[in-house]
Every structure is written in C-alpha cells, then in structure tokens.
Amino acid sequence: MAAPKEAPERYRLFGLDEFTGRGAQVQHNLHRRVPFWARIADRVLNRTLYGSGGYGGDFASVLASLRAINAADVVLSTVDTVGIPLVLLKRFGIVRTPVVYVAIGLPERLVQLRRLQGLYRRALRATRAIVSYAESEAEWLRDWLGPDARVVFVPFGVDAEAFRPVDREPDFDVVSIGADPRRDFELLASVATRNPELSVRVVASAEHARTFGALPANVSVEADIPIEAVRDRLAAARVVALPVRDNSYSGATTTLLQAMAMAKPVVVSRTDAIATGYGLEDGVNCRLVPPGDADALGRALLELLAGADAATALGTRARETVERSLTWERYTNALWKLLSP
C-alpha cells in the first residue's frame, strides 16, 4: 500500500487501483486495528464451528470492518480465511452487503467439513459470485453447491508492462520462485543433485525456506524478496522451473504468468489449476510435466538449456499468449463486471 501507484507490487491488490481509476470509492481492511471484542468473538465463533464439525476463519477482521462492509455496495473477499466468515455472517444477517468471494483452495476446506454441509452450501449459494482462478476448481464447486450458485472461472492475469522481456546475460541456469506451500522445491533440489553442473536459484518464503534440509552446493536460496527483485531473478535465469505438488487450486500461476510475460522458457507442473483455461500447450508456450516426476522435470530443463533457439521460441510464444489473453487489464475487467450492480 505504501508503494507508488506505478510500482509493480501494487498489482497484488486485486485491482484496487484499477477500480479507483474507474471512479469507485474503495476501502480496505489492511490497516484496520482489530479491537479486543472482535478477537474474543473470533475465538468463540471458531471454537463453536470447529467443535460442531465446521470450518472457520478470520472472523476478527470481518467483525472489525463490519460498519464499513455494511455501508458498501459490494464487498470483495480475496482470501478464503476471510471469505468463509463473511458468507456465514451474511447467512445470519450480520453482513448485509453482497459478497464476491475469490476462492483459492475452497474445495480443500469444504471436504474437511464433518457436519454442517447444508449451512455452508446455503451460505455460499447466497454470494453474488464465487470466483476461481482454476477451471477445475470452479467445476468442483458447481458440483458441490448445485445450480443455484454463481461460480465463475476467471483466469488470473499479469501486468505485461511491468513484466517485459529484458535483454541481459543470465546469472544462473534455473530459477524457481514462489511462496505457495504447494511448491515442490525439494523435487527441484533432487534434479540439481543429479546435475551438479547446473546453477539453481530458489526464491521462497522464509517459512518454507526453514524447512529445507541439506541442499546441494549448486542450489542457492533467497527468502521473502520484494517483487522488483523477483523480476530481476526471472530476468537473470536461462530457464524458469515451477514444480508444484499435485492439488486442485495451485499451479504457480502468478510466477508462471510473470515469467511468460518476460518471454522466459518455463517448465511447470501440470496441476489441475492450470491444465485448462490458460491456453498452455506443452512444447508450444511452456513445458508441462507431471507433478512429482523428477525425471520429467530434469529432462525438460536440460532440453531447454541445451537448445537455445527452441527455448527462445518457447519464450516468445509464451509472451504472445499473455498479451493475447492473460493481461492484468483483462483480469481486472472481469472482476469489475462481477462487482458492478
């Protein structure tokens, strides 16, 4: 929030700047203090829900923002930990404003319900829209919620101006970047161990980095770097590797699109989240490999590193794919349509 409007990291704000530019008055809860009573209510509500076989979340943040929420025309929830409390409180009439809920791993939460499935179905059906960044997740939610729910697949986007191709000499062979706990950096480390001639840079969250065991000498690690540095690390790599453990909602999507926008050759796990809906084609605009398959990951990386012309062509087509259908403007336009009356 403190960064200037043109800073690339501001696109983490889910279109806040773009909506303001359209004339909307946008408030957020990023700086809102959570009062003591809201923290107490949060504990009581979560204890009750989990004790009843349900699933909770950050009720404290929602309750602390309740006056602003009910004074708004629409509320956008960008994380499940806030979305679930919002829809439950709306179900009981405490939240009165229409809710647009961005789901990121909602199926994994719903399958944990031991009871109260009916309550959660009714609460989620009452949203104005549920947005998913994965076509497979959207289909799962439609099946679980039934025909009354409005579930919309919206492919994520990237600022193609902030992430442009950069002409520079590479500093290392392979970079892998991501804070998502589903990232399989250990798989990449096993590839690096088998190929000690490769120089590999891993950029992870500090929490994830602390879980790494002994790494081979050809793997270096950075943690929690700013997005400008992320852009620099992408530019400095010959190939981008994005191994992801098998799941329904995570496909390293943000970093994948950033790398593609920079015309980088990318090797990414073919998880359900990106298998369809993003226009990805193995050998055309990226390399898709099975999750957990170290042999396939290593083979794809070595082929790209050995074939400069093929790697360049792959990166060029990746950039064209982003410009055609995966820009930040297209993404924020789609969100705006869902938020507008």
Q: Where are the domains of the chain?
A: 33-153, 172-326
- Confidence (pLDDT) at 206: 92
Q: Tell me the CATH number for domain 172-326.
A: 3.40.50.2000
- Confidence (pLDDT) at 270: 96
Whole-angstrom Cα distance, residue 202 to residue 255? 13
- Confidence (pLDDT) at 181: 87
> Cα–Cα distances in Å, from 11 out to 64, 82, 263, 326, 329?
25, 20, 19, 14, 11
- What is the value of pTM for the model shown? 0.92
Cβ atoms of residues 149 and 172 within 8 Å: no
In the chain (341 residues long), the average pLDDT of successive 10-residue segments reads 80 86 89 90 97 96 95 96 97 97 93 94 97 95 94 96 94 95 94 97 93 93 94 97 89 95 98 95 98 97 96 98 96 95 78
Residue 13: DSSP 8-state: G
Nearest to 241 by CA among 284, 170, 187, 171: 187
- Confidence (pLDDT) at 306: 96
